[in-house]
Amino acid sequence: MKGGFTALCRVSCTDIDDRRRAKQQLKESQRYNLARSCPINLFDLPFGPADVDPGDASDMLAEFFDNSLLTGLALLVTDEETLLTRSEEAYLTTVARATYAEKGITREAIRAHAETTLLPAPTLADFIERLHTIPASSESMRCSLLERFEKAAYLFQAGQTSVSLEKPLTIFSIKEVHPKWYALMTYVVQNFLTRHRALRQNERYLAYVVEETSYLLKHPAGRSYLESGSRGFRKLGIAQITLSQHPRDFLEAGQVVLSNAGTVFYLGMQRTAVEKLHLPEELERILIESVPGQCVLRIGNEYAPLTVWSNPVYKAIFTTDPVERREIRRKEQERQQKQRAAVS
């Protein structure tokens, strides 16, 4: 699953028959390519009718703009070295409110009719159209933002979301996406999963795996959104699993994510990184020696050594090593040939 974001259901296997069923289920996977024309709408609301409390005077739409949508917009038009200014944020919020209002989605409509949250959300094309017409405090700022959004519009030509999670394993592939968009696409997938959980409630729990977390942690907006997921996803029935080959990602920029993780697996590290964990000497030795299959497990505030046994069945399902995949295909072909020969 290298180079992609993965959402999958909880799978537990206790005996040979269960493992066979899991293997069959996981073959029934689906892959969505996020390059060129992402099949997920950047502007989907991450809540549904069940989240609306008519007696609550808070503005759910404004909270979504402040805590979520502005992050997505920032990831679309800024880089690792820049942030949206306060003036830009205020203007984009004004444009966003007008864009949603055109679709009938307003604070008042949501409070009066919870089903308003089920209306089709505006798209990036709708947002850019409003950027053309709504004046800003600075015309040069408006033109600058408009130019940046139009340059990135090719990413979301698909419009409305056409993704479903009906299969046991779903892979959101970023293989052909430029690295500068990795953080943006992670935001888009996370927002989609939040929306999915809001509409499905307890129908299905999800494990959400983010590979190469370093790309998110490098970007201020991406890091902020990853941190919010580490704090709140558990309440939504989503287990956020973040992976990185570079320990410093979590020991430095990703400290908030690390501290909010209920379970952590520490694999082999350089001595300088291990020393920052302040572990007992015997646990430090495990990480420094980097013996395959051995790691240090942290659950809550408790640490313990752990040896991982590689189950051949699981390895055959999950391995991404090209050599191993070719060998698996070769053995499968031999097995099928023997079956055909036996029948004939």
Instruction: Give the containing element (helix H, strand E) for 165.
Output: none
As given in the structure block, the two tokens for residue 185 are: 């696409």
DSSP reduced 3-state for 178: coil
Measured between its terminal Cα atoms, the distance across the chain in Å is 38
Torsion, Cα 318 36 229 272, to 10 degrees, reads 70
The answer to whether residues 68 and 219 touch, using CB atoms and an 8 Å cutoff, is: no
| pTM of the model as a whole | 0.73
DSSP 278: -
What is the rounded CA–CA span in Å between residue 329 and residue 327?
A: 5
Predicted confidence pLDDT, tens digits, the chain (344 residues): 333 444 433 333 344 455 555 566 556 678 888 887 899 999 999 999 999 988 888 899 999 999 899 999 999 999 877 889 999 999 999 999 999 999 999 999 999 999 999 999 999 999 999 999 999 999 999 999 999 999 999 999 888 999 888 777 888 887 788 888 888 988 898 899 889 888 876 666 788 888 777 777 877 777 887 888 888 888 878 888 888 877 777 888 788 888 888 889 988 888 888 888 889 999 999 999 988 888 999 998 899 999 887 777 777 776 777 888 888 889 889 988 988 888 87
